[in-house]
Structure formats: structure tokens, C-alpha cells
Amino acid sequence: MKKLKEQDLVDNLGKFYDLLSKYLPDNKRTSNLINFYKSIEIVLLTSPASARITQTGCYPGGYIESTIKIIESALILDKVWDKLQQTKNYTIEELVFSAANCNLGRLGTNDKPFFKPNDNQWEIDKKGELFKFNPEMTHMRYSDRAIYTLQNAGINMTENEFLSIKLKDGAFDESNKVYLIQYSPEFELKSNLPYIIHQADLIVNKCNL
């Protein structure tokens, strides 16, 4: 398991806030978002991004490290789509907000972490499950919990951001297919942003960054 030093955690936190401050406008929503993260800072700093050692970010601090990489990947993919002459139907603010929050559901709810250290040695040794799901959590899909958490914190979203967070797992999530299967042109997604956020998340996970 990867181990981050305390300074690594502090540096990652600073980098995360720097990205938010750089790409999100200085307004009430950004202030509310940063204040929300500061209110759960210990969970934000120490949470893993996944439960199993073969998955991305399966170590304390893995969540914030992988989230930074998703933001950076989304910014790179935005330039790729521009290079291929996409119709730009979203803003950089929407892109960074969506990338920063697409996995927010993995942090749990109301300062209760979603992942807890696994106390079952057999599962650790045989399955590589270093963490387990917190039984205090109500079952929700990660994307639904992310949207709920933002709503609960009074942080509004645009339609592009809502769909990008909800669809970040793409067609891997069966419930997303009603949005992604193009029955006819009028039902196609009106923005490319959900595809970009999905691609950024997929890259970080598949490359085990």
C-alpha cells in the first residue's frame, strides 16, 4: 500500500485548493464550496479513493490525490477536444467543478467517512480489501451521494455539472444508459462535458494513477 507522509497530505490539500481558486470564479458559490471542504478537511485529507489494493487511491490520502489527477486530466482532455474542433458548450468553471466533485460521494456524508480500515485479515490477505464500507452509511450510488452532499451543503449546480457528476461512470453504470443511448437526436446530451469527465475519471482509474 502506498504511504503518504504528513507533508504530502498537506501539499495535496494546498494543491487542491489552488486548483479551485485558479479555475473557479471568486464568488459566493466558490466560497461556499471551499468552506464546505474545510468543514470536512480531516476526511478529505485522509480518505482513500477505493477499498481494494488493485484500485486507484487505495491508501489514506488517495481520494484527494486521485481527485487532483482527475481535474488535471479533464483540463488536458478539454484541449484535446478543442484541437479536434469540438463545439464548446460548457465552461472551464463547469469542467473543474464537475471534476473536483464527481467522486465526492466516496467521502461519505456529514463528516462520516465512507471507507473504514478493514479489520478482517482474511479479506485483506486474500482479496486485497484494505478498507471496508462504513455500515453507518445509507446505500447510494457514489454519483447520487455526491449530488446529495452538494445540495445538502447549499451548493448549486448547472445542468452541465449535474449531468457530468451523475454520469461520471458512463455506461459502466447501468442506470446511466437512458442518458447515453442515443435513441434519436433530440435525446442526445447537449454538452460534451459528461463525456470529458467520464474519460478523465476512467484514465485516472485505468492507469491506476
- What's the confidence (pLDDT) of residue 204? 94
- What's the confidence (pLDDT) of residue 184? 54
Rounded to an integer, the average pLDDT of 182-206 is 83
- What's the confidence (pLDDT) of residue 142? 87
Is 113 in contact with 47 (CB distance < 8 Å)? Answer: yes
Is 146 in contact with 162 (CB distance < 8 Å)? Answer: no
What are the pLDDT digits (tens) for 143-189? Answer: 999 999 999 999 999 999 999 999 987 655 666 666 666 655 666 77
- What's the confidence (pLDDT) of residue 111? 63
Rounded to an integer, the average pLDDT of 75-81 is 96
Number of H helices and E strands in the chain, helices first, is: 10, 2
Spell out the residues 6+ positions from residue 56 whose beta carbon is closer than 8 angstroms to its own. 49, 50, 62, 66, 204, 205, 208, 209
User: Looking up cell 484500485, which residue turns up?
Assistant: 55
Is 58 in contact with 132 (CB distance < 8 Å)? Answer: no
What are the pLDDT digits (tens) for 21-57? Answer: 999 999 999 999 999 999 999 999 999 999 999 999 9
- What's the confidence (pLDDT) of residue 187? 66
Contacts 24+ apart (CB under 8 A), 61-66: 61/4, 61/8, 61/9, 61/12, 62/2, 63/103, 63/106, 63/107, 64/9, 64/12, 64/13, 64/16, 65/4, 65/12, 66/103, 66/204, 66/205, 66/209
- What's the confidence (pLDDT) of residue 208? 67
Facing residues of 112 across strands?
109
Rounded to an integer, the average pLDDT of 136-141 is 83
Where residue 199 falls among pLDDT bands split at 50, 70, 90? very high
| Residue of 103, 98, 107 lying closest to 45 (CA atoms) | 107
Look at residue 114 and tell me whether its pLDDT is greater than 90. Answer: no
- What's the confidence (pLDDT) of residue 49? 93
Percentage of residues in the chain having pLDDT higher than 90: 67
Spell out the residues 6+ positions from residue 185 whose beta carbon is closer than 8 angstroms to its own. none
More confident call, 189 vs 133: 133
Where residue 137 falls among pLDDT bands split at 50, 70, 90? confident
pTM of the model: 0.91
